[in-house]
Amino acid sequence: MSIIKVENVTKRYSAHTALDGVSMEVPTGSIFGLLGPNGAGKTSLIRIITQITAPDEGTIYFNGEVLKPEHASRIGYLPEERGLYKKMKVGEQLVYLSRLKGLSAKDALEKVKDWFIRFEIKEWWDKNVEDLSKGMQQKVQFISTVVHEPELIILDEPFSGFDPINANLIRDEILRLHDRGSTIIFSTHRMETVEQLCDHIALINKSKKVLDGKKEDIRKQFSTYTYKISGTGQLEDRESPFERLSVKNESEKNSFEAVYRINPVHSPNELINWLTSQVEIHQFEEEIPSMGDIFIKTVQDDSNNL
């Protein structure tokens, strides 16, 4: 089941096409990375999902239903460009924004107070937003995004401007909300966030989707079938069915380090069996491409194919 299904969505602004026939699905319960270079179309897609704008062509589905205005209360959106009422007091503003999300006055007050306790910011209640630091304002904005416990939370560069301690705090809260049933969409350039948190990704480049799927399936798709091996003994330069990329024998320590690439028709076990006829293996590790490597390669290949 998918909480969001994007079907052949196109969005144009004057002479510029921001999205060109994009289709993808966000599985319910996933932590989904929406990736792409600046100007690729990510924000345009988010604005359509959150009903800030509408597609020129195509359809968005929310839990199997065509996206409708009443779905807005079930979505939380943290934009990259933060926006709070600078002259309002923090507590008053969060209660007001919670009411706009559909909470009753009583529930809004209780939930906002719970977040103030969770973030240890009770002394902020009567402060004006403009008196807070940028990082403090971003905490307030985060609370306003999730206070109504939405089914879908969309976060555009959520860690921007946070110091490492507060970034970890927000990350832990995101994971807690996910554990409680929310689906999370990250729009981010921070590949370490994708590595740590996301289980599905989609990559948009120049208004088109160029890659999507489970993160681990995509890793396998980009596998170079390269393995780093180390152990005791000395590797001889003898003929083998495997490509030998590098070998470093240390005769004084009677040890070696090597990198081999295998043909996909072979298995890693075949390489291990061939090596153990000469040496003792202590470490055998596949060199898996990072999400950053995959991002760069996909965007470059896509650009070269234009």
Say if CB 213 and CB 245 are below 8 A apart: no
Instruction: Tell whether the model's pLDDT for residue 265 goes beyond 80.
Output: yes
In this prediction, residues 291-305 reach a mean pLDDT of 82
Say if CB 178 and CB 9 are below 8 A apart: no
Length of the chain: 306
In this prediction, residues 227-234 reach a mean pLDDT of 95
Q: What is the mean pLDDT of the chain?
A: 91
304 falls in which pLDDT band (50, 70, 90)? low
The bridge status of strand 255-261 relative to strand 2-13 is unpaired
Please give the residue that has the higher pLDDT: either 5 or 86.
5
274 falls in which pLDDT band (50, 70, 90)? very high
Q: How far is CA 270 from CA 22, 242, 265, in A?
A: 42, 9, 10
Q: What are the sequence ranges of the domains in the chain?
A: 2-220, 224-286
Confidence (pLDDT) at 233: 94
Instruction: Tell whether the model's pLDDT for residue 14 goes beyond 90.
Output: no
Please give the residue that has the higher pLDDT: either 178 or 188.
178
Instruction: Tell whether the model's pLDDT for residue 226 goes beyond 90.
Output: yes
In this prediction, residues 165-190 reach a mean pLDDT of 92
Percent of the chain with pLDDT over 90: 70
Residue 267 in tokens:
């298995």
Confidence (pLDDT) at 11: 95
Separation between Cα atoms, residue 288 and residue 285, nearest integer Å: 9
In this prediction, residues 188-210 reach a mean pLDDT of 90
pLDDT tens, residue by residue, 68-84: 999 999 999 998 776 78
Q: Name the CATH architecture for the domain at 2-220.
A: 3-Layer(aba) Sandwich (3.40)
pTM (two decimals): 0.87
Confidence (pLDDT) at 146: 95
Separation between Cα atoms, residue 126 and residue 228, nearest integer Å: 58
pLDDT tens, residue by residue, 102-141: 899 999 999 999 999 999 899 999 999 889 888 888 889 9
Say if CB 145 and CB 46 are below 8 A apart: no
